[in-house]
């Protein structure tokens, strides 16, 4: 699977997640945003980086950083 295909899937998942999170009460949105930020930090840990698929890993990290910021803005 190439990077563009993966980014398309990430974007579709992002739209779905955003619609679900927006429908939740503010305290639940805050908990989700906090948990997602913890997952972002884990994903950015250097021990998880794969040398052979760096482009895909970087695209994923950029996507989850953006989504984390978006989720935090809802709370």
Cβ atoms within 10 Å, residue 52:
7
* Residue-level pLDDT at 23: 92
Share of the chain above pLDDT 90, in %: 7
Reply yes or no on whether the pLDDT at 49 is more than 60.
no
Region 29-45 average pLDDT: 83
Domain boundaries, the chain: 3-74
C-beta separation of 73 from 26 below 8 A: no
């Amino acid at each position: 699977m190439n990077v563009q295909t993966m980014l398309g899937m990430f974007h579709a998942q992002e739209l779905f997640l955003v619609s679900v999170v927006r429908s939740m009460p503010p305290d639940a949105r805050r908990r989700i945003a906090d948990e997602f930020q913890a997952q972002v930090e884990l994903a950015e840990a250097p021990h998880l980086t794969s040398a052979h698929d760096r482009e895909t890993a970087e695209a994923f990290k950029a996507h989850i950083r953006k989504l984390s910021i978006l989720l935090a803005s809802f709370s």
